[in-house]
Amino acid sequence: MHKGFNIRTQTGFATIAMLCFFILYLPIATLVVFAFNSGTSIALWEGFSLRWFAAAWNNQQVIEASIRSVKIAAVAAVIATAVATLAAIATTRTAAYRGLTFKYSFLNMPLMVPEIVTAVALLIFFSRVKVWTGYSGLGYLILAHTAFCIPFAYLPIRARLESMDLALERAAADLYATPFKVFRHVTLPLLWPGILAGLMLAFVISLDDVVITEFVKSGGQDTLPTYMLGQLRRAITPEMNAISTVFLLLSLAVVTIFFFLSRSNEKTE
């Protein structure tokens, strides 16, 4: 009996996989280890200490930048996910027509265009808006992050919609449910894991964005990544390692929470 091809059984697969994981995670592990260094060096171990975590905790600029980062990421992720959900429904719950492929490409354009191009375009656009309105608040950063995060939220939501069985939606329509009721009581509960995945991706992408934020932000609007970039240009201390470690733990916590929420939703289906 012919057996299907399985790459895991190929010679050297385990070795190559372990080597890739080692190369990928060794720098991160090194960063975390030196966050606990008692000295000021990021390359020479001088003993275990929590001094740099304490320094970061007592750094008012770090606290303000962290709160600003989470606030922007949360609002941008929610808006981006809502827009992506509507776009995914509009492009999957419809018969094929001329121009549909173009819409797919248009929605995913920020993934293909270099981020620096998007950043410069937003800088030029928002600079004119600032002149016309006189407003220079966080709204520009939220809009910029939202626009950039929409395709990241769109992809898992669209994938979930395409994998869903249409039988339940058709049955609800046959029972005279309105399109809104079909969406509210049938489509949305089945789509929820995809929405959570899109929300998670959008939040994480917004949280660690540097290029677009650096171009769009006004004075005094540093997010944590741009603050860290500014500090690294001046002096590198293990405080940056400590901040990065906390940032890493926050990202892992977000991913873990959304993972368990998605699993619990899938079990109730």
Q: Is the pLDDT reported for residue 1 higher than 50?
A: no
Question: How many residues appear in the chain?
Answer: 269
Q: What is the mean pLDDT of the chain?
A: 84
* CA dihedral over 129, 133, 138, 139, signed as positive or negative: negative
Neighbours of 119 (CB within 10 A): 20
Residue 123 has pLDDT above 70, yes or no: yes
Q: Give me the phi and psi of 84, to 5 degrees please.
A: -65, -35
Please give the residue that has the higher pLDDT: either 235 or 76.
Answer: 76
Domains of the chain: 51-268 (1.10.3720.10)
Lowest-confidence region among 76-85, 201-210, 254-263: 254-263
Q: State pLDDT tens for residues 139-148.
A: 999 999 999 9
46 Cβ contact partners less than 8 Å away, ≥ 6 residues apart: 37, 38, 39
Query: Which pLDDT score, from 0 to 100, does residue 145 have?
Result: 94
Asked whether the beta carbons of 221 and 64 are under 8 A apart, the reply is no
